[in-house]
Amino acid sequence: MKKYWKSRNEQEAALPGGGVIQAVARAILEAGAAEGVFGYSSDGDDVRPAFLTDAQSVTALTVPGRPAYGLARLVRDYLRGRRVAIFGLTCDIRAVVELAKRNSLDPDRVLTVGLNCDAMPQAHPRPNCLRCEYPRAFMADLEISVGDRACAAEVHSERGEAVLQAAGLAEAPPFALPGGWEETAAARAGEFTLRQADRKERLAYWFSQFDKCIKCYGCRNACPLCYCKDCYLDAGRGLVPGGQLAPARLFHLTRLAHVADSCLNCGQCEAACPMEIPLARLYHMLHKELSGIFGYRPGVDSAPPPLISFDESEKAKTESIFAPRR
């Protein structure tokens, strides 16, 4: 159930959101619920990821206007094994859920606090943000919508409840969310039109995009779901011929085949691409179809990823369930 809060500390309460995020982070550190808080901190005009271990430093915590970094992947790469409290956007939290399924991080050691996008004015959203279906991080231990002077918070686990209690917040009057989410609905609908184009057009479009690629591996490195220690796309694996630019189109089709069943639409691939290839658009487009076929919502469902599992009832079916589209 959603309730409204602000910090009891006067100085903290003057911060955006009534200092709730800071109070919660401080409580986590003081209670020893985590070794450190991993979130976004403001760096002048921009945000950067920060791992804060000192209760005094939590004032630096901020809510980014867009998913600037894939926090879950950074936890896997740099903070594995440590007890961490992530203060991330919904896409960060969903990535944590998926990485935990792939044994890339231990969910018992990662406490999740979700910063909802539903409270944020979407001034310069990324294209993938426009397509996002998860403005609220209901899969986190604790989800927070940050308002001007207070926050709305909802707990989803015992851990989240304990953390909220420990923060010792004061109740605040309810406030209306800015409503930026609804305003972008028209732009969001426009993001889904490519699928209707005919096959030849689609092929020409995607091949011309792939031909811009300079094989920097930025997409592969940034993707939270690319967790293989030995990547099939590396030089010397024999799949994608080396010494060729643009790389064989198989590079992108292969990554697509490996990741599409669980694509989170976090947009890190597209953000990382120096050639501005709309990768998230393709991956998310395919993923939406697969999500319908497999009935799987990545980052939300606790079921294992579809491509490494099957249902017993499928043994009775030996024909393809996919009807080709012309």
Partner 1 sequence: MFARRRYNMLRALLDAVGMDPERVRLTFISASEGAQFAQTVKEFVEEIRALGPNPLKVREVREA
Q: Which residue has the tokens 């092929």?
A: 203
Q: What is the DSSP letter of 17?
A: G
Residue 290 Cβ vs partner 1, minimum distance, rounded to whole Å: 6
Does the CA dihedral 71-58-83-97 come out positive or negative?
negative
Can you tell me the distance from the alpha carbon of 71 to that of 86, in angstroms, rounded to the nearest whole number?
Answer: 8
**Cβ closer to partner 1: 146 or 219?**
219
Residue 18 Cβ vs partner 1, minimum distance, rounded to whole Å: 45
* Helices then strands, each counted (H, E), the chain: 13, 9
Can you tell me the distance from the alpha carbon of 181 to that of 178, in angstroms, rounded to the nearest whole number?
Answer: 8
Q: Which residues contact 303 (CB under 8 A, 6 or more apart)?
A: 296, 309
Residue 121 Cβ vs partner 1, minimum distance, rounded to whole Å: 33
Pairing of strands 61-62, 36-43: antiparallel
**Cβ closer to partner 1: 159 or 249?**
249
**Cβ closer to partner 1: 111 or 273?**
273
Provide the token pair at 294: 């497999």
Can you tell me the distance from the alpha carbon of 116 to that of 224, in angstroms, rounded to the nearest whole number?
Answer: 20
**Cβ closer to partner 1: 124 or 315?**
315
Phi-psi region of 247 (alpha: psi -120 to 50; beta: other; left: phi over 0): beta
Q: What is the DSSP letter of 325?
A: P
Residue 288 Cβ vs partner 1, minimum distance, rounded to whole Å: 9
Q: Which residues contact 294 (CB under 8 A, 6 or more apart)?
A: 261, 306
Angle CA(164)–CA(168)–CA(170) in degrees, nearest 5? Answer: 105
**Cβ closer to partner 1: 189 or 308?**
308
**Cβ closer to partner 1: 123 or 316?**
316
Residue 258 Cβ vs partner 1, minimum distance, rounded to whole Å: 10
Residue 241 Cβ vs partner 1, minimum distance, rounded to whole Å: 10
Question: Do 87 and 102 contact (CB within 8 A), yes or no?
Answer: no
The contact set with partner 1 (CB under 8 A) reads: 195, 199-207, 211, 245-246, 248-250, 253, 256-257, 260-261, 282, 285-286, 289-290, 293-294, 306-308, 310, 314-315, 317-318, 320-322, 324-325
**Cβ closer to partner 1: 176 or 322?**
322
Question: What is the phi/psi pair of residue 25, to 5°?
Answer: -60, -45
**Cβ closer to partner 1: 135 or 298?**
298
Residue 33 Cβ vs partner 1, minimum distance, rounded to whole Å: 39
Provide the token pair at 234: 């590396």
Residue 239 Cβ vs partner 1, minimum distance, rounded to whole Å: 13
Can you tell me the distance from the alpha carbon of 113 to that of 25, in angstroms, rounded to the nearest whole number?
Answer: 9
**Cβ closer to partner 1: 154 or 261?**
261
Residue 211 Cβ vs partner 1, minimum distance, rounded to whole Å: 8
Q: Which of 165, 154, 159, 19 is nearest to 90 (CA)?
A: 154
